[in-house]
Each structure stands twice: as structure tokens, then as C-alpha cells.
Structure 1
Amino acid sequence: MSFTDKIKNEAEELTGKAKQKIGDATDNERLQAEGQTQETSAHAKQAGEHVKDAGRDVRDAFS
């Protein structure tokens, strides 16, 4: 995973968490849901990057 991708994913995750907390504090269900969606999306992107990294590691091990 490139450093830039890692930072972007972390920023998206933190933004999602912040939206959820603000939604909780203001009883705004739409904002809570939007934050959860954004956080889940960031987690999925991170998982995809980890899979790509593992594939590269396996390929490099056989080279």
C-alpha cells in the first residue's frame, strides 16, 4: 500500500467517525448513516490494499 493511499484511507475513516459522532450528538440519523458508510468504505479500501500487498509479497517470494 502506498503511503499516499494509506493517508487518504485514514483521512476518510476519520471523517466518517467524526460524522457519526456529530450525528449522535445532534440526533441526526442521516449524518450517522453517512459517517458509517464512509468509514466502511475506507475499511474496504484498506482491505483491498492489504490483499494487493500480500499478492505482491507472494509474487516476490517466488521470483
Structure 2
Amino acid sequence: MNKKTFDCVELKNTIQSKLLKEYQGIKTDEAAKHSWQKLQSSQSPVAKLWKQLQERQNLKKAS
């Protein structure tokens, strides 16, 4: 049997653990604001997609 080179569950657990440490002791509204700011300043593929979707939504609201 071949050994997997990528384990998505392990990646999820690693990211989740990192986020729990990062937001430990922070109120929910502060954590949401922090996440929002990180997403807005990020150049990750997910952030770019989110920004495109936000632009589309804003255009629909304006018309």
C-alpha cells in the first residue's frame, strides 16, 4: 500500500490548533474583526476569491 504524501485531516488539525492558540482569550467580536482584517490584507487564493465575491455583491447592491 502506498503511503499518502498529504493528509488533509492532519492539515486541518494543525491549522485549527494554531487558530485556537491565536484567538485564545479574545472575545468573539474581536476575533471576528481580527479574522476580517487578516482576510482583507491577505494575498492567498482564498482571500482573492473572497474579495472578488465581495465586489460582485457590492455591485449587485449598487444596481
Structure 2-normalised TM-score?
0.33
Using CA pairs below 8 Å that are at least 6 residues apart, which structure has the higher relative contact order?
A: 1
Q: Would you tell me which structure has more helix in proportion to its own residues?
A: 1
Q: How does the TM-score come out when normalised to structure 1?
A: 0.33
* Structure with bigger gyration radius: 2
